[in-house]
Structure 1
Protein backbone atom coordinates (compact mmCIF):
# COMPACT_ATOMS: atom_id res chain seq x y z
CA UNK A 1 0.00 0.00 0.00
CA UNK A 2 2.92 2.35 0.59
CA UNK A 3 5.51 3.47 -1.91
CA UNK A 4 9.04 3.22 -0.53
CA UNK A 5 10.72 6.61 -0.26
CA UNK A 6 14.42 6.67 0.65
CA UNK A 7 14.88 8.31 4.06
CA UNK A 8 17.21 10.90 2.60
CA UNK A 9 14.55 11.94 0.04
CA UNK A 10 11.53 12.08 2.35
CA UNK A 11 11.98 15.62 3.67
CA UNK A 12 10.26 18.31 1.61
CA UNK A 13 13.31 20.59 1.86
CA UNK A 14 15.36 18.06 -0.15
CA UNK A 15 15.17 18.74 -3.89
CA UNK A 16 14.05 15.74 -5.96
CA UNK A 17 13.31 16.72 -9.57
CA UNK A 18 12.56 13.12 -10.63
CA UNK A 19 9.97 12.50 -7.92
CA UNK A 20 6.88 11.01 -9.58
CA UNK A 21 4.30 9.99 -6.95
CA UNK A 22 1.42 7.73 -7.96
CA UNK A 23 -2.00 9.36 -8.11
CA UNK A 24 -4.39 7.46 -5.80
CA UNK A 25 -7.49 9.58 -6.44
CA UNK A 26 -10.53 7.30 -6.92
CA UNK A 27 -12.86 7.99 -9.88
CA UNK A 28 -15.53 9.67 -7.74
CA UNK A 29 -13.06 12.35 -6.56
CA UNK A 30 -11.56 13.24 -9.94
CA UNK A 31 -12.32 16.82 -11.06
CA UNK A 32 -14.71 15.77 -13.83
CA UNK A 33 -16.72 13.62 -11.43
CA UNK A 34 -16.82 16.28 -8.71
CA UNK A 35 -18.18 18.80 -11.22
CA UNK A 36 -21.31 16.64 -11.51
CA UNK A 37 -21.62 15.11 -8.04
CA UNK A 38 -19.84 15.51 -4.69
CA UNK A 39 -20.08 12.45 -2.39
CA UNK A 40 -21.62 13.26 1.00
CA UNK A 41 -18.37 12.23 2.75
CA UNK A 42 -16.12 14.52 0.69
CA UNK A 43 -15.54 18.19 -0.04
CA UNK A 44 -16.01 19.49 -3.55
CA UNK A 45 -12.54 21.01 -3.99
CA UNK A 46 -10.97 19.37 -7.04
CA UNK A 47 -7.47 20.48 -5.96
CA UNK A 48 -6.04 22.21 -2.88
CA UNK A 49 -6.06 25.45 -4.91
CA UNK A 50 -9.87 25.36 -4.61
CA UNK A 51 -9.73 25.43 -0.80
CA UNK A 52 -10.06 28.92 0.69
CA UNK A 53 -9.68 28.33 4.45
CA UNK A 54 -6.16 27.01 4.90
CA UNK A 55 -5.46 29.38 7.81
CA UNK A 56 -8.40 27.96 9.75
CA UNK A 57 -7.57 24.36 8.88
CA UNK A 58 -3.95 24.73 9.91
CA UNK A 59 -4.88 26.44 13.18
CA UNK A 60 -7.20 23.54 14.05
CA UNK A 61 -4.83 20.75 12.95
CA UNK A 62 -3.90 17.99 15.39
CA UNK A 63 -0.43 17.87 13.81
CA UNK A 64 1.09 21.09 12.36
CA UNK A 65 1.85 21.19 8.65
CA UNK A 66 3.11 23.59 6.00
CA UNK A 67 1.93 24.69 2.56
CA UNK A 68 4.14 24.58 -0.53
CA UNK A 69 4.77 27.45 -2.96
CA UNK A 70 1.44 26.71 -4.67
CA UNK A 71 -0.43 26.88 -1.38
CA UNK A 72 -0.92 23.10 -1.28
CA UNK A 73 -0.69 21.24 2.06
CA UNK A 74 2.33 19.01 2.64
CA UNK A 75 2.26 15.79 4.65
CA UNK A 76 4.02 16.57 7.97
CA UNK A 77 6.32 13.56 7.68
CA UNK A 78 7.41 14.28 4.12
CA UNK A 79 6.94 12.55 0.79
CA UNK A 80 4.64 9.53 0.76
CA UNK A 81 5.10 8.33 -2.84
CA UNK A 82 1.42 9.08 -3.49
CA UNK A 83 -0.42 12.16 -4.68
CA UNK A 84 -4.08 13.06 -5.17
CA UNK A 85 -6.83 12.54 -2.62
CA UNK A 86 -8.54 9.38 -1.40
CA UNK A 87 -9.98 11.04 1.72
CA UNK A 88 -12.77 13.49 2.42
CA UNK A 89 -10.62 16.60 2.60
CA UNK A 90 -7.34 17.99 1.37
CA UNK A 91 -4.76 18.36 4.13
CA UNK A 92 -5.44 16.85 7.52
CA UNK A 93 -8.47 14.62 7.98
CA UNK A 94 -9.17 14.45 11.71
CA UNK A 95 -10.25 11.11 13.14
CA UNK A 96 -10.83 9.57 16.56
CA UNK A 97 -9.89 6.08 17.76
CA UNK A 98 -11.54 4.79 20.96
CA UNK A 99 -9.53 1.98 22.56
CA UNK A 100 -11.91 0.09 24.84
CA UNK A 101 -10.33 -2.29 27.35
CA UNK A 102 -12.15 -4.50 29.84
CA UNK A 103 -10.92 -6.53 32.81
CA UNK A 104 -7.50 -6.92 34.37
CA UNK A 105 -4.45 -9.18 34.26
CA UNK A 106 -4.98 -12.44 32.39
CA UNK A 107 -8.61 -11.51 31.78
CA UNK A 108 -7.91 -8.18 30.08
CA UNK A 109 -9.56 -7.79 26.67
CA UNK A 110 -9.65 -5.12 23.95
CA UNK A 111 -12.58 -4.41 21.66
CA UNK A 112 -11.77 -4.56 17.94
CA UNK A 113 -13.78 -4.56 14.74
CA UNK A 114 -13.20 -6.15 11.36
CA UNK A 115 -13.12 -3.26 8.88
CA UNK A 116 -15.31 -3.66 5.83
CA UNK A 117 -12.89 -1.82 3.52
CA UNK A 118 -9.68 -3.78 4.04
CA UNK A 119 -10.85 -6.76 6.11
CA UNK A 120 -8.48 -6.42 9.05
CA UNK A 121 -8.91 -6.20 12.83
CA UNK A 122 -8.82 -2.59 13.96
CA UNK A 123 -9.80 -0.12 16.65
CA UNK A 124 -13.39 1.06 16.12
CA UNK A 125 -13.22 4.68 15.03
CA UNK A 126 -13.53 7.09 12.16
CA UNK A 127 -13.51 10.62 10.84
CA UNK A 128 -14.76 13.62 12.78
CA UNK A 129 -17.86 15.19 11.27
CA UNK A 130 -17.81 18.89 10.44
CA UNK A 131 -17.78 20.89 13.69
CA UNK A 132 -17.60 17.74 15.84
CA UNK A 133 -15.20 17.55 18.80
CA UNK A 134 -12.93 14.54 19.33
CA UNK A 135 -14.79 13.32 22.49
CA UNK A 136 -18.06 13.37 20.55
CA UNK A 137 -16.51 11.48 17.63
CA UNK A 138 -15.01 8.88 19.96
CA UNK A 139 -18.39 8.05 21.49
CA UNK A 140 -20.31 8.27 18.21
CA UNK A 141 -17.99 6.04 16.19
CA UNK A 142 -17.85 3.46 18.98
CA UNK A 143 -21.64 3.37 19.22
CA UNK A 144 -22.14 3.24 15.43
CA UNK A 145 -19.63 0.44 14.81
CA UNK A 146 -20.11 -1.76 17.90
CA UNK A 147 -23.34 -0.70 19.60
CA UNK A 148 -21.38 0.07 22.77
CA UNK A 149 -22.45 3.42 24.24
CA UNK A 150 -19.82 5.04 26.45
CA UNK A 151 -20.99 8.61 25.97
CA UNK A 152 -21.22 9.00 29.76
CA UNK A 153 -17.62 7.86 30.30
CA UNK A 154 -14.59 10.14 30.45
CA UNK A 155 -11.74 8.58 28.45
CA UNK A 156 -8.01 9.13 28.92
CA UNK A 157 -6.62 10.95 25.88
CA UNK A 158 -3.49 9.05 24.86
CA UNK A 159 -2.30 11.19 21.97
CA UNK A 160 -2.95 13.17 18.83
CA UNK A 161 -0.89 11.69 16.04
CA UNK A 162 -0.48 11.04 12.35
CA UNK A 163 -1.87 7.67 11.28
CA UNK A 164 -0.11 5.51 8.67
CA UNK A 165 -3.37 5.13 6.79
CA UNK A 166 -3.45 3.38 3.41
CA UNK A 167 -5.25 6.40 1.91
CA UNK A 168 -2.59 8.97 2.86
CA UNK A 169 -0.94 11.02 0.14
CA UNK A 170 1.41 13.98 -0.06
CA UNK A 171 -1.54 16.38 0.14
CA UNK A 172 -4.20 14.53 2.17
CA UNK A 173 -3.69 12.41 5.28
CA UNK A 174 -5.22 11.16 8.53
CA UNK A 175 -4.40 12.39 12.05
CA UNK A 176 -6.20 10.90 15.03
CA UNK A 177 -7.05 11.53 18.65
CA UNK A 178 -6.66 8.18 20.42
CA UNK A 179 -8.33 7.65 23.78
CA UNK A 180 -8.58 4.86 26.33
CA UNK A 181 -11.84 3.68 27.92
CA UNK A 182 -11.50 1.15 30.76
CA UNK A 183 -14.42 -1.08 31.78
CA UNK A 184 -14.63 -3.57 34.66
CA UNK A 185 -15.84 -6.33 32.32
CA UNK A 186 -16.70 -6.92 28.68
CA UNK A 187 -20.06 -5.80 27.35
CA UNK A 188 -22.06 -6.97 24.36
CA UNK A 189 -20.75 -5.64 21.04
CA UNK A 190 -22.57 -5.92 17.70
CA UNK A 191 -20.92 -4.95 14.41
CA UNK A 192 -22.59 -2.26 12.32
CA UNK A 193 -21.82 0.67 10.01
CA UNK A 194 -18.22 0.22 8.72
CA UNK A 195 -17.64 -2.99 10.70
CA UNK A 196 -18.46 -6.52 9.57
CA UNK A 197 -17.56 -8.05 12.94
CA UNK A 198 -16.85 -6.86 16.48
CA UNK A 199 -15.33 -8.78 19.35
CA UNK A 200 -13.11 -8.86 22.39
CA UNK A 201 -9.51 -10.06 22.11
CA UNK A 202 -6.85 -10.99 24.72
CA UNK A 203 -4.84 -7.88 25.56
CA UNK A 204 -2.17 -8.79 28.09
CA UNK A 205 0.44 -7.70 25.56
CA UNK A 206 0.72 -6.85 21.88
CA UNK A 207 2.32 -10.26 21.30
CA UNK A 208 -0.67 -11.97 22.93
CA UNK A 209 -3.07 -9.97 20.79
CA UNK A 210 -1.08 -10.75 17.62
CA UNK A 211 -1.08 -14.46 18.44
CA UNK A 212 -4.82 -14.59 19.08
CA UNK A 213 -5.63 -12.72 15.86
CA UNK A 214 -3.25 -14.84 13.79
CA UNK A 215 -4.66 -18.06 15.27
CA UNK A 216 -8.11 -16.89 14.19
CA UNK A 217 -6.81 -16.48 10.63
CA UNK A 218 -7.05 -12.71 10.75
CA UNK A 219 -4.66 -9.73 10.59
CA UNK A 220 -4.18 -6.75 12.90
CA UNK A 221 -4.30 -3.36 11.14
CA UNK A 222 -0.67 -2.24 11.14
CA UNK A 223 -1.50 1.46 11.47
CA UNK A 224 -3.19 0.80 14.83
CA UNK A 225 -0.31 -1.13 16.40
CA UNK A 226 1.38 2.02 17.80
CA UNK A 227 -1.93 3.20 19.31
CA UNK A 228 -2.54 -0.17 20.97
CA UNK A 229 1.05 -0.26 22.23
CA UNK A 230 0.57 3.18 23.81
CA UNK A 231 -2.61 1.99 25.52
CA UNK A 232 -0.75 -1.01 26.95
CA UNK A 233 2.05 1.23 28.14
CA UNK A 234 -0.47 3.40 29.97
CA UNK A 235 -2.29 0.42 31.47
CA UNK A 236 0.96 -1.12 32.68
CA UNK A 237 1.84 1.94 34.77
CA UNK A 238 -0.06 1.14 38.01
CA UNK A 239 0.11 4.67 39.37
CA UNK A 240 -1.36 6.12 36.16
CA UNK A 241 -3.71 3.39 34.95
CA UNK A 242 -7.24 4.46 34.24
CA UNK A 243 -9.85 3.20 36.69
CA UNK A 244 -13.05 1.42 35.66
CA UNK A 245 -16.26 3.40 35.92
Structure 2
Protein backbone atom coordinates (compact mmCIF):
# COMPACT_ATOMS: atom_id res chain seq x y z
CA UNK A 1 0.00 0.00 0.00
CA UNK A 2 1.40 3.42 -0.90
CA UNK A 3 0.60 6.91 0.24
CA UNK A 4 -1.92 8.82 -1.85
CA UNK A 5 -0.38 11.89 -3.55
CA UNK A 6 -1.35 15.21 -2.01
CA UNK A 7 -3.25 17.74 -4.13
CA UNK A 8 -1.23 20.94 -4.40
CA UNK A 9 -3.14 23.92 -3.02
CA UNK A 10 -1.96 27.40 -4.07
CA UNK A 11 -0.61 29.23 -1.03
CA UNK A 12 -3.01 32.10 -1.52
CA UNK A 13 -6.02 29.79 -1.42
CA UNK A 14 -5.05 27.53 1.46
CA UNK A 15 -6.64 29.63 4.21
CA UNK A 16 -10.28 28.93 5.06
CA UNK A 17 -10.85 32.68 5.26
CA UNK A 18 -10.24 33.01 1.51
CA UNK A 19 -13.27 32.33 -0.67
CA UNK A 20 -12.79 29.62 -3.30
CA UNK A 21 -16.15 28.76 -4.95
CA UNK A 22 -14.52 26.30 -7.36
CA UNK A 23 -12.73 24.26 -4.69
CA UNK A 24 -13.26 20.54 -5.39
CA UNK A 25 -11.25 18.41 -2.94
CA UNK A 26 -10.79 14.71 -3.70
CA UNK A 27 -12.59 12.26 -1.40
CA UNK A 28 -10.06 9.87 0.16
CA UNK A 29 -12.50 7.86 2.29
CA UNK A 30 -11.70 4.13 1.98
CA UNK A 31 -14.50 1.68 1.35
CA UNK A 32 -14.70 0.50 4.98
CA UNK A 33 -15.40 4.05 6.22
CA UNK A 34 -18.08 5.02 3.72
CA UNK A 35 -21.60 5.46 5.14
CA UNK A 36 -22.96 2.32 3.51
CA UNK A 37 -20.19 0.21 5.05
CA UNK A 38 -20.42 1.84 8.50
CA UNK A 39 -24.13 1.08 8.59
CA UNK A 40 -23.25 -2.62 8.63
CA UNK A 41 -19.92 -2.79 10.43
CA UNK A 42 -17.67 -0.25 12.14
CA UNK A 43 -13.93 -1.09 12.18
CA UNK A 44 -12.57 -1.42 15.70
CA UNK A 45 -10.13 1.46 15.11
CA UNK A 46 -12.75 3.94 13.86
CA UNK A 47 -15.72 5.87 15.19
CA UNK A 48 -19.14 5.14 13.74
CA UNK A 49 -20.07 8.66 12.60
CA UNK A 50 -20.39 8.65 8.77
CA UNK A 51 -19.97 12.45 8.68
CA UNK A 52 -18.92 15.07 11.25
CA UNK A 53 -22.60 16.04 11.63
CA UNK A 54 -23.17 12.89 13.69
CA UNK A 55 -20.39 13.74 16.17
CA UNK A 56 -21.89 15.22 19.36
CA UNK A 57 -18.85 16.19 21.44
CA UNK A 58 -17.14 18.87 19.39
CA UNK A 59 -16.85 21.18 22.42
CA UNK A 60 -14.87 18.52 24.28
CA UNK A 61 -12.74 17.68 21.25
CA UNK A 62 -11.87 21.32 20.68
CA UNK A 63 -11.04 21.84 24.36
CA UNK A 64 -8.67 18.84 24.48
CA UNK A 65 -7.06 19.29 21.05
CA UNK A 66 -3.26 19.38 20.83
CA UNK A 67 -3.63 22.01 18.09
CA UNK A 68 -6.66 24.37 18.20
CA UNK A 69 -9.17 24.07 15.36
CA UNK A 70 -12.46 25.67 14.31
CA UNK A 71 -15.75 24.37 12.94
CA UNK A 72 -17.38 25.57 9.72
CA UNK A 73 -21.00 26.71 9.29
CA UNK A 74 -22.12 23.07 9.16
CA UNK A 75 -20.36 22.27 12.41
CA UNK A 76 -17.64 20.31 10.61
CA UNK A 77 -14.01 20.52 11.82
CA UNK A 78 -11.52 22.41 9.66
CA UNK A 79 -7.87 21.44 9.30
CA UNK A 80 -5.93 24.06 11.34
CA UNK A 81 -3.56 24.79 8.45
CA UNK A 82 -6.28 25.26 5.84
CA UNK A 83 -7.35 23.38 2.72
CA UNK A 84 -5.61 20.09 1.98
CA UNK A 85 -7.13 19.24 -1.40
CA UNK A 86 -8.70 16.15 0.15
CA UNK A 87 -12.01 15.54 1.88
CA UNK A 88 -13.58 12.59 3.67
CA UNK A 89 -11.88 10.50 6.35
CA UNK A 90 -9.10 7.92 6.22
CA UNK A 91 -8.46 8.07 9.97
CA UNK A 92 -10.25 6.77 13.04
CA UNK A 93 -11.89 10.04 14.04
CA UNK A 94 -13.22 13.20 12.48
CA UNK A 95 -11.19 16.24 13.44
CA UNK A 96 -7.96 15.74 15.34
CA UNK A 97 -6.51 12.25 15.71
CA UNK A 98 -3.98 12.31 18.54
CA UNK A 99 -0.78 10.35 18.00
CA UNK A 100 2.40 9.70 19.96
CA UNK A 101 5.89 9.57 18.43
CA UNK A 102 8.76 8.31 20.65
CA UNK A 103 12.16 9.30 19.25
CA UNK A 104 14.81 7.03 20.77
CA UNK A 105 18.42 8.18 20.45
CA UNK A 106 21.32 6.11 21.75
CA UNK A 107 25.04 6.79 22.12
CA UNK A 108 27.16 9.86 21.53
CA UNK A 109 29.13 11.55 18.77
CA UNK A 110 30.08 9.22 15.93
CA UNK A 111 28.27 6.39 17.69
CA UNK A 112 24.94 8.18 17.98
CA UNK A 113 22.01 6.21 16.56
CA UNK A 114 18.27 6.72 16.20
CA UNK A 115 15.70 3.92 16.18
CA UNK A 116 13.34 3.83 13.19
CA UNK A 117 10.85 1.30 11.89
CA UNK A 118 9.76 0.36 8.39
CA UNK A 119 6.04 1.14 8.31
CA UNK A 120 3.83 -1.66 7.03
CA UNK A 121 1.26 0.72 5.48
CA UNK A 122 3.51 2.77 3.21
CA UNK A 123 6.86 0.97 3.41
CA UNK A 124 9.04 3.89 4.56
CA UNK A 125 11.40 4.47 7.48
CA UNK A 126 9.65 6.33 10.29
CA UNK A 127 9.60 7.04 13.99
CA UNK A 128 7.90 4.19 15.86
CA UNK A 129 4.55 5.45 17.08
CA UNK A 130 0.85 5.54 16.49
CA UNK A 131 -2.54 6.73 17.65
CA UNK A 132 -3.43 7.39 21.27
CA UNK A 133 -6.17 4.98 22.32
CA UNK A 134 -9.43 6.18 23.84
CA UNK A 135 -8.89 6.97 27.52
CA UNK A 136 -5.11 6.68 27.16
CA UNK A 137 -2.63 9.44 27.98
CA UNK A 138 0.09 10.51 25.55
CA UNK A 139 2.90 9.33 27.89
CA UNK A 140 1.28 5.90 28.10
CA UNK A 141 0.84 5.78 24.33
CA UNK A 142 4.52 6.63 23.79
CA UNK A 143 5.60 3.65 25.88
CA UNK A 144 2.98 1.28 24.44
CA UNK A 145 3.64 2.10 20.77
CA UNK A 146 7.40 1.78 21.18
CA UNK A 147 7.05 -1.58 22.92
CA UNK A 148 4.51 -2.91 20.40
CA UNK A 149 6.50 -1.93 17.32
CA UNK A 150 10.10 -2.54 18.45
CA UNK A 151 9.99 -4.61 21.62
CA UNK A 152 11.88 -1.83 23.44
CA UNK A 153 10.31 -1.09 26.85
CA UNK A 154 11.17 2.35 28.24
CA UNK A 155 8.41 2.53 30.83
CA UNK A 156 11.00 3.40 33.50
CA UNK A 157 12.46 6.29 31.46
CA UNK A 158 11.23 9.85 31.58
CA UNK A 159 11.30 11.38 28.07
CA UNK A 160 11.69 15.02 27.08
CA UNK A 161 8.48 16.23 25.44
CA UNK A 162 9.58 18.00 22.25
CA UNK A 163 6.24 19.33 21.05
CA UNK A 164 2.60 18.84 20.21
CA UNK A 165 2.24 19.49 16.52
CA UNK A 166 0.31 18.82 13.35
CA UNK A 167 1.83 16.03 11.28
CA UNK A 168 1.80 16.11 7.47
CA UNK A 169 0.32 12.62 7.43
CA UNK A 170 -0.67 11.10 4.08
CA UNK A 171 -4.17 10.39 5.46
CA UNK A 172 -4.96 14.00 6.39
CA UNK A 173 -7.99 15.68 4.87
CA UNK A 174 -9.89 18.93 5.33
CA UNK A 175 -11.94 17.36 8.13
CA UNK A 176 -9.66 14.73 9.71
CA UNK A 177 -5.95 15.03 10.51
CA UNK A 178 -3.12 13.86 12.77
CA UNK A 179 -1.53 15.85 15.59
CA UNK A 180 1.27 14.26 17.58
CA UNK A 181 3.02 14.47 20.92
CA UNK A 182 6.68 13.81 20.13
CA UNK A 183 9.13 12.88 22.86
CA UNK A 184 12.87 12.24 23.07
CA UNK A 185 14.32 9.23 24.91
CA UNK A 186 18.08 9.20 25.45
CA UNK A 187 19.95 5.92 26.01
CA UNK A 188 23.67 5.40 26.65
CA UNK A 189 23.85 2.68 23.98
CA UNK A 190 21.62 0.83 21.55
CA UNK A 191 19.42 -2.00 22.79
CA UNK A 192 17.92 -4.95 20.93
CA UNK A 193 14.94 -3.93 18.79
CA UNK A 194 12.68 -6.43 17.04
CA UNK A 195 9.95 -5.32 14.64
CA UNK A 196 6.37 -6.28 15.45
CA UNK A 197 2.78 -5.03 15.14
CA UNK A 198 2.67 -2.34 12.40
CA UNK A 199 6.43 -2.48 11.73
CA UNK A 200 8.15 -4.58 9.08
CA UNK A 201 11.63 -3.85 10.45
CA UNK A 202 13.33 -1.97 13.29
CA UNK A 203 16.74 -0.43 12.62
CA UNK A 204 19.27 1.75 14.44
CA UNK A 205 20.58 4.37 11.99
CA UNK A 206 23.53 6.81 12.29
CA UNK A 207 22.25 10.13 13.62
CA UNK A 208 25.07 12.65 13.49
CA UNK A 209 22.96 14.84 11.22
CA UNK A 210 19.73 14.58 9.28
CA UNK A 211 21.81 14.33 6.10
CA UNK A 212 23.79 11.41 7.50
CA UNK A 213 20.56 9.69 8.48
CA UNK A 214 19.01 10.10 5.04
CA UNK A 215 22.19 8.89 3.34
CA UNK A 216 22.21 5.74 5.47
CA UNK A 217 18.54 5.11 4.74
CA UNK A 218 19.08 5.60 1.01
CA UNK A 219 22.06 3.22 1.02
CA UNK A 220 19.79 0.63 2.63
CA UNK A 221 17.43 1.00 -0.34
CA UNK A 222 14.79 2.72 1.75
CA UNK A 223 13.15 6.15 2.10
CA UNK A 224 12.63 8.40 5.12
CA UNK A 225 9.01 9.34 5.82
CA UNK A 226 8.92 13.03 4.89
CA UNK A 227 6.38 13.95 7.57
CA UNK A 228 8.86 12.89 10.27
CA UNK A 229 11.79 14.98 9.08
CA UNK A 230 10.79 18.03 11.19
CA UNK A 231 10.37 15.87 14.30
CA UNK A 232 13.77 14.21 13.83
CA UNK A 233 15.42 17.56 13.09
CA UNK A 234 14.06 19.02 16.33
CA UNK A 235 15.10 15.95 18.32
CA UNK A 236 18.67 16.15 17.02
CA UNK A 237 18.82 19.87 17.79
CA UNK A 238 17.72 19.11 21.34
CA UNK A 239 20.34 16.38 21.71
CA UNK A 240 23.12 18.68 20.48
CA UNK A 241 21.93 21.61 22.61
CA UNK A 242 21.90 19.35 25.66
CA UNK A 243 25.56 18.55 25.26
CA UNK A 244 24.97 14.95 24.23
CA UNK A 245 27.12 15.37 21.12
TM-score higher than 0.5: yes
Distance (whole Å) between structure 1 residues aligned to residue 88 and residue 242 of structure 2: 45
Residue 173 of structure 2 is matched in structure 1 by 169
Distance (whole Å) between structure 1 residues aligned to residue 242 and residue 176 of structure 2: 38
Residue 236 of structure 1 is matched in structure 2 by 240
Residue 195 of structure 1 is matched in structure 2 by 199
Distance (whole Å) between structure 2 residues aligned to residue 109 and residue 41 of structure 1: 33
The number of residue pairs the alignment matches comes to 241
Residue 67 of structure 1 is matched in structure 2 by 71
Q: Deviations over 1:88-141 (max 9, x none)?
A: 000000000000000000000000000000000000000000011000000000
Displacement after TM superposition at 1:199 (Å): 1.0
> Which of 88, 93, 115 is matched with 2:92 structurally?
88
Residue 104 of structure 1 is matched in structure 2 by 108
Q: Deviations over 1:51-101 (max 9, x none)?
A: 000000000000000000000000000000000000000000000000000
SS of equivalent to 1:158 = strand
1:142 equivalent in alignment to 2:146: yes
> Which of 19, 23, 34 is matched with 1:19 structurally?
23
Displacement after TM superposition at 1:238 (Å): 3.3
Displacement after TM superposition at 1:49 (Å): 0.1
Distance (whole Å) between structure 2 residues aligned to residue 146 and residue 235 of structure 1: 22
Q: In structure 1, list runs of 5 or more residues that go unmatched.
A: none
Distance (whole Å) between structure 2 residues aligned to residue 96 and residue 136 of structure 1: 9
Distance (whole Å) between structure 2 residues aligned to residue 35 and residue 238 of structure 1: 52
SS of equivalent to 2:194 = coil
Distance (whole Å) between structure 1 residues aligned to residue 33 and residue 151 of structure 2: 31
CA-atom RMSD in angstroms = 0.9
1:126 equivalent in alignment to 2:127: no
1:5 equivalent in alignment to 2:9: yes
Q: Deviations over 1:27-51 (max 9, x none)?
A: 0000000000000000000000000
TM-score normalised by the chain length of structure 1: 0.97
TM-score normalised by the chain length of structure 2: 0.97
Displacement after TM superposition at 1:202 (Å): 0.2
Distance (whole Å) between structure 2 residues aligned to residue 5 and residue 125 of structure 1: 28
